[in-house]
Amino acid sequence: MASKHSSERLIQQLQHQGINNAMVLEVLRTTPRHLFIDEALSSHAYTNHALPIGYGQTISQPYIVARMTEALLEQGNLDKVLEIGTGCGYQTAILAQLVPQVYSVERIKNLLTKAHDRLTSLGLDNIHFHYSDGHWGWAENAPYQGIIVTAAPASVPEALLEQLAVGGYLIIPVGAQNSYQVLLKIIRTRRNHYEQYTLDEVSFVPLCQGIS
Ligand code: SAH
């Protein structure tokens, strides 16, 4: 069981770090992060750290999940959100409790299957899964008012810019692995016009090519 005490402490830390969207904090407080990681690591589930989930991948740090979600919600009118990098499905679960429809793309089949089973057993039925290379987005369901990318490409994939609705927000880390990466918020203000803001300095696993 999630320790109520440790999840409360985590939420206090996030507030100290500047997260102040009450809905985001509440969803992070009530989502059982220990169910998304290996049992051997469960004592670390409510610490503010990224943790390994196998295949060389990680579950994102709660602060980063909160920061990205908060930035996305500023869009204010999210109907469909595209997530690139399902991983263990933790960020997906947070999004699915805050927006009507979540479309999530993952390139590692085993991670996708496990995330699908986990999220289904949590009763989240507004998530659509796609086994693919997220560099291509998920064109069939575009446009999206929000796109969130949880692995870092060297530069912003063109398909994601194209699949963003006018008025939509793209939250994406960009930069080489083990090097300087920044978290960007890109707003499609008009059909052919995008505005870019830097939110944070971050450290993500790379957005890889192809499927596995
Ligand atoms: N949101 C996840 C973070 C997982 S780490 C979580 O909270 O668990 C990043 C994920 O992005 C990994 O699962 C990795 O396999 C995936 N990924 C990397 N490159 C990708 C690509 N090109 N397309 C789709 N997913 C990708």
Question: Does residue 10 fall inside a structural domain?
Answer: no
What domain range includes position 133? 55-202
How confident is the model at residue 175, as a pLDDT?
Answer: 95
108 C-alpha to center of ligand 1: Å?
Answer: 8
Q: Which of 67, 83, 84 to mutate to test the pocket of ligand 1 (most atoms within 8 A of CB)?
A: 84
- This prediction's pTM: 0.97
Number of domains in the chain: 1
The number of beta carbons lying within 10 Å of the beta carbon of residue 59 is 22
- pLDDT block averages, 10 residues each, the chain of length 212: 76 97 97 96 95 96 98 97 98 98 98 98 98 98 98 97 98 90 98 97 94 91
- Per-residue model confidence (pLDDT) at position 122: 97
CATH code (residue 67): 3.40.50.150
pLDDT at 1: 45
pLDDT at position 3: 62
In terms of Cβ atoms closer than 10 Å to its own Cβ (0-12, 13-18, 19+), residue 176 is exposed
Q: Give CA separation, 136 vs 12, 47, 61, 79, 128, in Å.
A: 37, 33, 25, 20, 16
Residue 183: the pLDDT is 98
Question: In angstroms, what CA-CA distances link 173 with 39, 151, 203?
Answer: 29, 7, 8
Q: 51 and 37 in contact (C-beta within 8 Å)?
A: yes
Residue 177 lies in a domain: yes
Beta bridge partners of residue 102, listed in sequence order: 81, 127
